[in-house]
């Protein structure tokens, strides 16, 4: 929700892409560039809320179809499907949340995509987890059948999408 990199270390939280909700509890995690092993987690602040917005509605859409092993090996494409219940023309902002294990794409270019558009979430082969939040052009979205695909020609660990799977946070303009 925010980062403070210089004194006085104040953060204005950006909740514009979170759904309206009540009963929120939050903690802050404080870490230091000079000593990344030093981390402080604050006690929880409870009873917070994100109010309804007068001219916008934020929703989170999870994959309705998701392969049990969402990974690609030896050129086998795997696909997850995310459907929306709104007209993409009403969307003012969309963010894709996705966590991948990046074992590399092999010789495959653009091994992760959304509706055929490459996503910069994997391919380095660092054998690590990567959590990405990517802004998606609403014009690239469909009401039904938004497809997140992985394709790798590696024989062992390639690209794997981790549970709970990809999700779209969508901010819709209301009349």
Higher-confidence residue of 5 and 118: namely: 118
For residues 159 and 103, the answer to whether their CB atoms sit within 8 Å is yes
* Cβ-based neighbour number of residue 18 at 10 Å: 15
For residues 151 and 80, the answer to whether their CB atoms sit within 8 Å is no
For residue 108, pLDDT over 80 is answered with yes
User: Cα separation of 161 and 111, whole Å?
Assistant: 11
For residue 3, pLDDT over 80 is answered with no
Biggest CA–CA distance in the chain, Å, is: 51
Question: pLDDT at position 49, please?
Answer: 95
Residue 140 phi, psi dihedral angles, 5° rounding: -90, -5
pLDDT tens per residue, range 51-62: 999 999 999 999
Indicate the pLDDT class of residue 1, thresholds 50, 70 and 90.
low
pLDDT tens per residue, range 160-173: 999 999 999 999 99
String of b and e for 110-120 (b: at least 16 CB within 10 Å)?
Answer: ebbbbeeeebe
For residue 122, pLDDT over 80 is answered with no
* Cβ-based neighbour number of residue 130 at 10 Å: 16
Summarize the confidence of residues 21-45 as an average pLDDT: 91
pLDDT tens per residue, range 126-160: 888 999 999 999 999 999 999 999 998 888 778 89
Higher-confidence residue of 44 and 33: namely: 44
pLDDT tens per residue, range 83-95: 999 999 999 999 9
- The pLDDT mean for the chain works out to 91
Please tell me the pTM assigned to this model: 0.87
Summarize the confidence of residues 98-126 as an average pLDDT: 87
User: Cα separation of 78 and 97, whole Å?
Assistant: 18
């Amino acid at each position: 929700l925010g980062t403070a990199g210089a004194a006085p270390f104040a953060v204005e939280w950006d909740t514009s892409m979170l759904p309206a909700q009540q009963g929120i509890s939050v903690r802050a995690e404080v870490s230091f560039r000079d000593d990344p092993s030093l981390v402080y987690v604050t006690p929880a602040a409870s009873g917070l809320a994100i109010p309804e917005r007068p001219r916008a509605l934020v929703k989170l859409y999870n994959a309705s179809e998701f392969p049990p092993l969402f990974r690609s090996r030896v050129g086998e494409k795997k696909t997850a499907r995310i459907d929306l219940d709104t007209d993409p023309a009403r969307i003012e902002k969309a963010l894709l949340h996705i966590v991948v294990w990046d074992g590399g794409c092999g010789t495959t270019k653009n091994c992760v995509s959304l509706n055929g558009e490459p996503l910069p979430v994997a391919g380095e082969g660092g054998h690590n987890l990567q959590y990405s939040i990517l802004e998606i052009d609403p014009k690239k979205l469909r009401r039904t059948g938004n497809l997140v695909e992985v394709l790798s020609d590696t024989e062992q660990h390639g690209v794997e999408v981790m549970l709970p799977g990809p999700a779209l946070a969508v901010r819709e303009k209301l009349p």
